[in-house]
């Protein structure tokens, strides 16, 4: 499929322009979700597979197309063989309309580079208008001045700027087809524009993946990027994407084996993942949809996210996890990332944010 160029819309600046009623609505929603956290935790802790409360986080794959060939990524290695495409904006709006009252945040990427989506900025602005915090993770190679300004104006809640390495020879062997100096400059310009413009958001995360090739540069990365305008530095644990690809497994800095007894994966109680064509994934490790959980599009043309969240297929998968009967369930049967986090009574986040924080 031919990659579309991003058509940058003329958006009305949203950042910082939130009215009193909007603030009250957001505060009410936040309190309601906080009050539900013990209920969600109890459903998970007791192995409840039916009538699970709505997810905390909504993952939406804006596109599964990428402009790089990163060595640690199934997309970059051409291991992801799903049809390529971009989420339809009307489908996106229907999903957000249904889920905005329930989830705490939405991530506008799963696979692919979100800046390639021709309506990403409209997606961000739509989430903002609905009172829903949106986030993206980007390789920042396409983060030119115009895109930076549009992102800042659209009201993005958080951005993860990924720079795996402190030197061109490290970075460019990991992020194949990227230019270190250009990406570095893009990131610095974005940070400067946010500060100069007085934007309150997005929350800026600088991220490096913890892998054998980057370990010698992690300390320097933390020191170098501990500067004004960077809100957090993530040294992200290596993700083997379910341990399905040996060449990716071999990039680890450690053996990756959890030192604790397996428990049911929290993803199935806390996060919902929707790919660009509406199909539902158990999580991002199922990058080729080996496990069928259906589609949010219903036969009558509607969108049914919550119905699928507590539908028979999702219930069945949760039950297999509770019973530790995963031998025939791919990629769960080879996954180690379930051990990244476990919910507690008042802490229900994890997964993508399960990163070590640099001292700043």
* 56-95 residue pLDDT tens: 899 999 999 999 999 999 999 999 999 999 999 999 999 9
What is the separation, in whole angstroms, between the first and last Cα of the chain?
43
Euclidean distance between CA atoms 114 and 93, whole angstroms: 16
Q: What is the pLDDT of residues 287-321, one digit of tens each?
A: 999 999 999 998 888 899 999 999 999 999 999 99
The pLDDT confidence band at residue 12, using thresholds 50, 70 and 90, is very low
Q: Which residue has 């036969």 as its token pair?
A: 299
Mean pLDDT value of segment 188-217: 96
Q: What is the pLDDT of residues 268-282, one digit of tens each?
A: 999 999 999 999 999
pLDDT grade, residue 360 (50/70/90)? very low
Residue 261 to residues 32, 50, 257, 338, 339, Cα–Cα distance (Å): 33, 24, 11, 11, 9
Q: What share of the chain has pLDDT > 90, as a percent? A: 70
In this predicted structure, what is the pLDDT of residue 13?
A: 46
Tokens of 205: 């995360």
- In this prediction the pTM is 0.89
pLDDT at 337: 86
Domain boundaries, the chain: 22-357
pLDDT band at 349 (very low <50, low <70, confident <90, very high): low
Q: Give the pLDDT of residue 357.
A: 37
Over residues 193-221, mean pLDDT: 96
Of 47-61, 164-178, 253-267, where does mean pLDDT reach its minimum?
A: 253-267
Task: At 72, give phi and psi (nearest 5°).
Answer: -100, 10
Sign (positive/negative) of CA torsion 102, 234, 64, 182?
positive
3-state secondary structure of 163: coil
Q: What is the mean pLDDT of the chain?
A: 88
Of 353, 307, 357, 347, nearest to 59 (Cα)?
353
Q: Is 219 helix (H, G, I), strand (E, B) or coil?
A: helix
C-alpha distances (whole Å) from 120 to each of 60, 83, 123, 150, 217 are 11, 20, 5, 10, 32
Residue 241 token pair: 């994407």
Top pLDDT among 337 and 163 is at 163
Question: What does DSSP say about strands 356-357 and 232-236: parallel, antiparallel, or unpaired?
Answer: antiparallel
Task: Place 18 in a pLDDT band, splitting at 50, 70 and 90.
Answer: low
**Superfamily covering domain 22-357:** Aldolase class I (3.20.20.70)
354 HSE (CA, 13 A, CB side): 18
Long-range contacts of 45-54 (CB under 8 A, 24+ apart): 45/343, 47/264, 47/318, 47/322, 49/315, 49/316, 49/318, 49/319, 49/322, 50/310, 50/315, 51/310, 52/269, 52/309, 52/310, 52/318, 54/99, 54/102, 54/103, 54/306, 54/309
Q: Above 60 in pLDDT, residue 205?
A: yes
């Amino acid at each position: 499929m031919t990659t579309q160029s991003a058509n940058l819309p003329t958006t009305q600046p949203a950042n910082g322009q939130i009215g009193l009623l909007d603030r009250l609505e957001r505060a009410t929603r936040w309190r309601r979700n906080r009050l539900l956290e013990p209920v969600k935790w109890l459903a998970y802790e007791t192995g409840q597979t039916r009538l699970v409360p709505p997810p905390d986080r909504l993952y939406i794959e804006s596109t599964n197309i990428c402009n790089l060939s990163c060595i640690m990524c199934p997309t970059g290695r051409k291991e992801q063989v799903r049809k390529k495409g971009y989420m339809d904006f009307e489908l996106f709006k229907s999903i957000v309309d249904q889920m905005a009252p329930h989830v705490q945040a939405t991530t506008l990427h799963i696979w692919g580079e979100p800046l390639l989506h021709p309506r990403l900025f409209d997606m961000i602005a739509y989430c903002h208008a609905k009172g829903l915090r949106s986030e993206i993770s980007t390789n920042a190679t396409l983060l030119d001045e115009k895109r930076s300004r549009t992102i800042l104006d659209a009201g993005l809640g958080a951005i993860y700027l990924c720079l795996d390495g402190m030197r061109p020879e490290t970075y460019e062997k990991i992020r194949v087809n990227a230019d270190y100096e250009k990406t570095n400059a893009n990131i610095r310009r974005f940070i400067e524009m946010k500060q100069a413009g007085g934007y309150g958001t997005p929350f800026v995360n600088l991220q490096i993946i913890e892998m054998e090739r980057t370990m010698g540069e992690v300390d320097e990365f933390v020191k170098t990027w501990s500067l004004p305008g960077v809100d957090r530095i993530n040294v992200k644990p290596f993700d083997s994407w379910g341990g399905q690809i040996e060449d990716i497994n071999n990039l680890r800095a450690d053996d990756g084996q959890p030192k604790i007894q397996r428990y049911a994966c929290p993803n199935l109680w806390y996060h919902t993942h929707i790919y660009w064509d509406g199909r539902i994934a158990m999580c991002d490790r199922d990058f080729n949809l080996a496990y069928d959980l259906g589609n949010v599009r219903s036969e009558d043309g509607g969108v049914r996210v919550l119905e699928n969240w507590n539908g028979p297929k999702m219930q069945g998968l949760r039950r297999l996890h509770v019973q530790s009967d995963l031998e025939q369930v791919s990629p769960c049967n080879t996954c180690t990332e379930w051990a990244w986090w476990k919910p507690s009574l008042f802490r229900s986040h994890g997964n993508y944010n399960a990163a070590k924080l640099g001292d700043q």
